[in-house]
Chain A
Amino acid sequence: MPNIKLENITKSYKDEVIVHNFNLTIPSGKFFALLGPSGSGKTTLLRLIAGFEKPDKGDIYLGDKRITDEPINERRVNTVFQHYALFPHLNVFDNVAYGLTVKKIPKDAIEKKVMKMLKVVGLEKHRNKSISQLSGGQQQRVALARAIVNEPQVLLLDEPLAALDLKLRERMLIELIDLQDQLGTTFVYVTHDQFEALTVADYMAIMNTDGEIEQVGTPKEIYEFPVSSFVAEFVGTTNIMKGTIEKSGDTYVLKTEKLGSLEIVTPDKKWAVKGAHVLMSLRPEKIEISKKKLDGFSNVLKGTVEAIVYYGRSTQYSVRVKNGSLVHVFEQNDEHFPKETIDYDDTVYLHWQKNNVVLLKK
């Protein structure tokens, strides 16, 4: 399985630059997610790989082969469209068989391959149905089958689950992961939903609204060690605090405006020197909240509970602290009858360990 390389891609649309000197290498055989807000250009990149658009500048490589000028129908790349684009005048079987039919593959070979694929997606009993008779989830599976039966080197998925309801979406995500495992094909999955991306991806990239990549890495790397506040805030929720790096004796601290000095670990980044103005990202689930001050934590802040949202699995508290900002805390509801109930307007203490924060440049 070859990898995909996008080299110095520039693409504009009607005088608006979508991506500029964009570079990305998508590793082969993995489930790769491209995550970003609407307008970040992620769909454009997908269309460039598929061949629906041609880059103004730059090249696209499939392994060693330069495919920039290769027409759509010659690329070993197949797409699952957002609204499926299933052919309404063909039934399920003919839709799935389409790619094989146009390549003039003999009929019995088509029959075997298509039925095998229909079995994989669980639709072998529906082969003669027309598209309009299928539910959203079933149509989605036909679209998948139609693409995969051609054994592409790369499968592109453009927000394929956007039209499905939550439960179905969750189930399909697992099925997609299993499918990719089974096939070993490179999957490139474009979405604006960070939950989807984190779930399916072996490897992912985050794009911002300017069409630039903010960070590339495994879901865990991106979540736990974001490189910018954009990433920290786009993927999951976080608390951002501003301050200056200071050193008092052997320990490093982040000197903030009103919240005092917060202890941090020894910074290992080049720009994190004494006197540098930086941001600190602290994930809500890394904070321990309690009405009594607890021992054993490097940092403690005091505040008042302003909002409580119950999520079933967890509860989110929004706590107003001394400098006026709101700190969010996630507590897992791991006890039926918790020892301590926290209520509105309670005074609480927020505790966290110094190695659970990430320093950010911007």
Chain B
Amino acid sequence: MIKNSLSRLFRGQRSFFLMVPALVWQILFLCIPLVVIFILSFLKVQDNVTLSYSLSHYASFFKPQYLKIIFRSLLLGSINTLICLLIGYPLAYYLVFRVGRWKNTLLFLLILPFWTNLLVLAYAWFFVLDKYGLFNNSLMSLGVISEPLTLLNTPFSVYLVMIYCYLPFMVLPIYSILEKLDKRLIEASDDLGARWWESFWRVIFPLSMSGIQTGVFLVFVQSFGEFVIPELLGGGKTFYVGTLISHYFLVSRNPFAGAAFTCFSVLFLIAVAYMLYRMFKKVNSTGGVR
């Protein structure tokens, strides 16, 4: 039977193997590296020479300092996602439903930072939040404070810039879904006597759930492993998952521990992502928010 279907496959288009390069690329540069990382996590170097199988890396990560790092990243991911959602949804709603002639301009203005280099944006905030930067300078000249506030290299700066950079990732999927919504459904709801917030909760919000889902997953997964922003704006003292992984590979040059930590933290990520997935599934199956 396999031979039959294979021969049918080949008879159809002789050059079908030309589709293979793309697949090979993915397998070579995505799948195999992940497998390699997975395998490495179980290896250990002894006496600088021999390799042996070991779970010692994993074991060592159950200490509080590592769990604290993972928790810190989970917290970063969650709060970032939550705030981006709370800010992003009304913004998307406003752009789709309330803005008239300015919609395209505002959309363009929203997308522009999205397409700008992350480092440029991080640097911009550096500029603003520095000890003698714009923010402090203006506050001091207004007489609100007498001493400059230390805003950089704090969790505050990390969270602020995370929100700044990730906001478009949340807004765009929601915008896209709301834009494609059949407006006649809202008209039907209004016609049947619902007030605008009822139309919103009963019709618009449930139907936009898939956009919310996309945004939440995009933001959460990426911000959990975020490297650049904590590295630049967090100061060197506190580690997040992204910066610790980088540290293992580039600074302490310990790929085995690094691989192990990567797998370890990805496990947590998968666990939380799965919980999110179940939550969304439940919300969708019970007919959305009442």
The answer to whether B14 and A71 have CB atoms under 8 Å apart is yes
Main secondary structure on B side of the interface with A: helix
Assembly CA distance A54 to B9 (angstroms): 11
Closest-CB distance, A4 to chain B (whole angstroms): 21
Q: Which of A94-131 contact B (CB under 8 A)?
A: none
Chain A residues with Cβ under 8 A from B14's Cβ? Answer: 71
Q: Which of A53-70 contact B (CB under 8 A)?
A: 54, 69
Q: Which of B1-24 contact A (CB under 8 A)?
A: 8, 11-12, 14
Assembly CA distance A65 to B11 (angstroms): 19
Q: Return the 5 tightest CB-CB contacts between A and B, nearest first.
A: A54-B11, A69-B11, A54-B12, A71-B14, A54-B8
Chain B residues with Cβ under 8 A from A69's Cβ? Answer: 11
Closest to A56 in B: B8
Q: How many A-B residue pairs have CB under 8 A?
A: 5
Residue interface bits B84-123, CB-to-A below 8 A is 1, else 0: 0000000000000000000000000000000000000000
Main secondary structure on A side of the interface with B: loop
Closest-CB distance, A282 to chain B (whole angstroms): 49
Assembly CA distance A302 to B123 (angstroms): 101
Residue interface bits B237-276, CB-to-A below 8 A is 1, else 0: 0000000000000000000000000000000000000000
- Which B residues lie at the A interface, using CB under 8 A? 8, 11-12, 14
Closest to B4 in A: A56
Closest-CB distance, B1 to chain A (whole angstroms): 14
Show 5 A/B contacts (Cβ-Cβ < 8 Å), sorted by A. Answer: A54-B8, A54-B11, A54-B12, A69-B11, A71-B14
Residue interface bits A194-235, CB-to-B below 8 A is 1, else 0: 000000000000000000000000000000000000000000
Assembly CA distance A54 to B13 (angstroms): 11
Assembly CA distance A54 to B14 (angstroms): 13
Closest-CB distance, A20 to chain B (whole angstroms): 18
Assembly CA distance A71 to B12 (angstroms): 9
Closest to A53 in B: B12
Assembly CA distance A6 to B86 (angstroms): 67
Closest to B11 in A: A54
Closest-CB distance, B227 to chain A (whole angstroms): 45
Closest-CB distance, A54 to chain B (whole angstroms): 6
Closest to B8 in A: A54
Chain B residues with Cβ under 8 A from A71's Cβ? Answer: 14
Assembly CA distance A258 to B141 (angstroms): 113
Chain A residues with Cβ under 8 A from B11's Cβ? Answer: 54, 69
Residue interface bits A283-326, CB-to-B below 8 A is 1, else 0: 00000000000000000000000000000000000000000000
Closest-CB distance, A43 to chain B (whole angstroms): 19
Assembly CA distance A54 to B11 (angstroms): 8
Closest to A71 in B: B14
Closest-CB distance, B71 to chain A (whole angstroms): 52
Assembly CA distance A220 to B284 (angstroms): 63
Chain A residues with Cβ under 8 A from B12's Cβ? Answer: 54
Assembly CA distance A54 to B8 (angstroms): 9
Closest-CB distance, A341 to chain B (whole angstroms): 55
Chain A residues with Cβ under 8 A from B8's Cβ? Answer: 54
Closest to A54 in B: B11
Assembly CA distance A69 to B11 (angstroms): 8
Closest-CB distance, A2 to chain B (whole angstroms): 24
Closest to A69 in B: B11
Assembly CA distance A71 to B14 (angstroms): 9
Closest-CB distance, A362 to chain B (whole angstroms): 37
Closest-CB distance, A65 to chain B (whole angstroms): 18
Closest to B12 in A: A54
Residue interface bits A254-296, CB-to-B below 8 A is 1, else 0: 0000000000000000000000000000000000000000000
Closest-CB distance, A66 to chain B (whole angstroms): 15
Assembly CA distance A179 to B128 (angstroms): 79
Assembly CA distance A69 to B12 (angstroms): 10
Closest to B13 in A: A71
Q: Which of A34-75 contact B (CB under 8 A)?
A: 54, 69, 71
Closest-CB distance, B288 to chain A (whole angstroms): 35
Closest-CB distance, B89 to chain A (whole angstroms): 40
Assembly CA distance A71 to B8 (angstroms): 13
Closest-CB distance, A73 to chain B (whole angstroms): 11
Closest-CB distance, A28 to chain B (whole angstroms): 28
